[in-house]
Amino acid sequence: METRESAPGELSRTQALRLLVHFVGDIHQPLHCGTGFYRISETTPPLLVTNPDEAFGLPSDRGGNDLFYGPKERLHALWDVVLVERVADTFDSRALAALLKQEYLHHAWTATPGDYHRWAETWALESVKVAASAYAGIRFNSVETMGESNPLWISITLPRDYEEKNTDLAAQQLTKAGVRLGQLLDRIRWP
């Protein structure tokens, strides 16, 4: 295979592949595509608004980044780190890949239909639907406004079995991302 140097300001093939892997993985993490919107009152806990028509103009939790279930534990980080580590009891990528291959790859993973240029949109819409599970059962306690860099600090309580219920979902999303990355690389004929 012939390689060439990348021009200044141009991504190398390795950099491009790393970004593609990252983006395909990210689009399958539900809180990267979904976000909560809230009706906030001074007298009652924040109310999650699920109807998109009613959510317009309401403050958002920025994909779970403004939801705190402990002193500093963000819901978004739970999905990015904690649940991923929990899938294989490690954050080692090789062990995680081996477990996903053994436990989840045997499912029927159908190819995304249509033009591959539209696949990201399809995957994002699917992840938005999966995000509903990320919010299921959460109790919204209180809210503080913190200023422009972090406008909300919403205290939440997770259901007792939240991590157990969502570990399998996180594993499915990770597997789906890997399968779809392979399909995309095949479709674009990545060398």
What average pLDDT does range 158-184 have in this prediction? Answer: 95
Domain ranges of the chain: 73-105+115-191
> Mean of the pLDDT values across residues 11-21?
94
Which of 37, 41, 42, 44 has the alpha carbon at shortest distance from 58? 37
Position 4 scores a pLDDT of 57
pLDDT tens digit sequence for 75-96 = 999 999 999 999 999 889 999 9
Q: Flag whether pLDDT at 3 surpasses 60.
A: no
What distance in Å separates the CA atoms of residue 49 and residue 44, rounded to the nearest whole number?
14
Calpha distance 138→52 (Å, rounded): 19
Give me the residue label for tokens 């983006």.
23
State the pLDDT confidence band at 70, using cuts at 50, 70 and 90. confident
Specify whether the CB–CB gap between 153 and 143 falls below 8 A: yes
The residue type found at 71 is: P
pLDDT for residue 1: 45
Helices (DSSP H) in 80-161: which residue ranges? 83-88, 93-103, 119-135
pLDDT computed for residue 8 by the predictor: 76
Q: Looking up tokens 């990267």, which residue turns up?
A: 32
Say what the pLDDT of residue 2 is. 46
Mean pLDDT of 15-36: 95
Quote the tokens at residue 73. 């534990």
- Residue 42's pLDDT band (cuts 50, 70, 90): confident
Mean pLDDT for 42-61 is: 92
Mean pLDDT check: name the lowest of 6-15, 31-40, 164-173, 181-190.
6-15
